[in-house]
Chains A and B, each alone.
Chain A
Amino acid sequence: SQKIEQNSEALNIQEGKTATLTCNYTNYSPAYLQWYRQDPGRGPVFLLLIRENEKEKRKERLKVTFDTTLKQSLFHITASQPADSATYLCAPLARGNYGQNFVFGPGTRLSVLP
């Protein structure tokens, strides 16, 4: 069965450093991979989508990589700020069967310390 793992349940880093979050998946081959941010008491918010033929994608201080050989995506936040503290969820999406695709990882809770 499909399995999605995200690195340590919680990650603490110092303000100004780069945070790197990992998403690993097994038993399927996603064509896309999404990252969402979730703040306490709120619903997830879409951040980025990367396609299987894209090695890297950037949006402001965010960078996502997608390695289909390693079955892994890395999510980087550069020059991190306390406001970046949240839980980050990855969602690898297989091609086709649109609705059934939305399976989320367990999330990594990031804390950026001032």
Chain B
Amino acid sequence: DAGVIQSPRHEVTEMGQEVTLRCKPISGHNSLFWYRQTMMRGLELLIYFNNNVPIDDSGMPEDRFSAKMPNASFSTLKIQPSEPRDSAVYFCASSLGSSSYEQYFGPGTRLTVT
């Protein structure tokens, strides 16, 4: 079992550029989550999908952030345009769904916006 896969692992970009983070959840998992982690704010939930449908995006900080899940094995988180305050580690996690609260996290993408 490969676990949750995220790419890239590190991303350095300039302010104003578009950034796309990618996630492949564990096969058979119905729920997918995007989190952001910073020293100041800790681990924050951005958006949650169930069966590929976005259920709650109230954690998305602003319209510059968008997420998609075109199929059960792939999701993207896009930031356009990026700003220095978006610098953080972004995690993707998956779970079996509402029958299970156990989440499996990916290794994260460390984003630096200069």
Which residues does A use to contact B, with CB under 8 Å?
32, 34, 41-46, 49, 89, 93, 98-107
Minimum Cβ distance to chain A for residue B65 (Å): 17
Q: A44-B43, A105-B42 given as contacts; is B48 within 8 A of A99 (CB)? A: yes
Interface segment out of the listed B14-22, B71-79, B96-104: B96-104
Chain A residues lying within 8 Å of B106, measured Cβ to Cβ, are 43
Asked if A46 and B56 sit within 8 Å, CB to CB, the answer is no
Contact B56 A43 (CB under 8 A): no
Residues of A within 8 Å of B105, CB to CB, are: 43-45
Contact (Cβ within 8 A) A43 B107:
yes
In the assembled complex, the CB of A5 is this many whole angstroms from the nearest CB of chain B, namely 11
Q: Is the CB of A99 within 8 A of B42?
A: no
B residues sitting closer than 8 Å to A (CB atoms) are: 4, 31, 33, 42-43, 45, 48, 50, 55-56, 58, 91, 93, 98, 101-108
Are the C-beta atoms of B50 and A43 separated by less than 8 Å?
no
If A42-B108, A43-B106, A99-B55 touch, does A93 touch B101 (CB 8 Å cutoff)?
yes
The answer on a CB contact under 8 Å between B48 and A43 is no
Q: What are the residues of chain B within 8 A of A93 when measuring CB–CB?
A: 101
Contacts of A34 in B (CB 8 A): 101-102
